[in-house]
Amino acid sequence: MSRAIAIIGGTGPQGMGLALRWARAGEAVIIGSRDAARAQQAADSIRERVGSQAQVSGMENSAAAAATDLHALTVPFEGAAALLKQLKPAFRPGSVLIDTTVPLAASVGGRASRMLGVWQGSAAQQTAELVPKGVSVVAAFQNVSAEVLNGDDEVDCDVIVCSDDPNATQIAIELAAKIPRIRAIDGGKLENARIVEQITALLIGLNIRHKGHGGIRITGFADSVYKSA
C-alpha cells in the first residue's frame, strides 16, 4: 500500500494510536488537526517513538485530506459532521474514508457507556451522507482501545470492518491486519456499523466496572475468515 493515510482529527487518543501503529508498520501517515502546528508536534512525537525512518507528517485537516485519497476519521463524534462538511471540497472522488467514530452519549455530556441515537443508524452512516459522491466510507477500529493502541503491547482485539464498497472493506482489512495481533473480519454492509459502534459503549462500561482495556474477539469461524499480519 503506497498511498499515505490522512488521519483527520488525528491528535486525539484514537488518531495518535492509529498513527503510531501504522507508522511502525511502515505506512506513510499524515496527521490532520485544526491547527497545523499542533499536527506537526503530534507527528514529531510519533517520529520520536517510531524512529527517524517513520513516514509521518502533520497538516491542517483540509490540507491533510487534500494530500491523499485514503483517510481515517478519528474526531470525537460531536465534531464529525461539521468537520466533514468543511472538508467536502478536499475529498477527491475515488477516495476511501475509514470512520472510527462512535456516537457515545458523552458527546452531549452523558455517559460514555451509553449511546446517542443517530437518525441514519450509526455514525458511519451519517458520515456516508456527508462525504461527496464517489467517496467510499468504511467503518472500522471503533472497538480497539486507544490506550492499548498508544502503548507498545500487541492488540488483543478483532476489527470488524463494515462497508458497502468491497474495495474499501479490503483496504481497511489490510490496514487493520498491519497492527500486531489485530485480526480483521469482514462485517458486511455499512449498516452493520450501528452494532459495532455500540460494542464500544459496552466495552467502556466494562472498563469502568472491571478496570481494564476491553476488546472483543469473534469466535467460531475458519482461520481463513480472519486477516492478520
Q: Does 225 bind a second copy (CB under 8 A)?
A: yes
Is 213 a binding residue for a second copy by CB under 8 A? The answer is yes
| 156, 164, 165, 174: which one binds a second copy (CB under 8 A) | 156
- 8: contact with a second copy by CB under 8 A: no
Asked if residue 188 binds a second copy (CB under 8 A), the reply is: yes
Could you say whether residue 2 binds a second copy (CB under 8 A)?
no
Task: State the binding string over 126-145 for a second copy (x if CB under 8 A, else -).
Answer: -------------------x
CA distance 73 to 142: 11
User: What 8-state DSSP symbol labels residue 213?
Assistant: -
- Among 170, 110, 97, residue whose Cα is nearest residue 137: 97
Q: Which of residues 71-130 bind a second copy (CB under 8 A)?
A: 113, 115
> For residues 147 and 33, what is the distance between their CA atoms, to the nearest angstrom?
20
Q: Which of 67, 216, 227, 228 binds a second copy (CB under 8 A)?
A: 216
Residue type, 229: A
Do 149 and 102 meet the contact criterion of CB atoms below 8 Å apart?
Answer: no
H or E stretch at 171:
helix 166-177
Residue 18 interacting with a second copy (CB under 8 A): no
| Strand 96-99, strand 5-8: pairing | unpaired
Residue type at position 64 = A
User: d(Cα 222, Cα 38) in Å, to the nearest integer?
Assistant: 44
Rounded to the nearest whole angstrom, what is the least distance from the CB of residue 181 to a second copy in the complex? 10
Q: Total residues contacting a second copy (rule CB under 8 A)?
A: 38
Summarize as ranges the residues that interact with a second copy (CB under 8 A): 113, 115, 145, 148, 156-157, 160, 185-188, 192, 194-196, 198-199, 201-203, 205-207, 209-222, 225
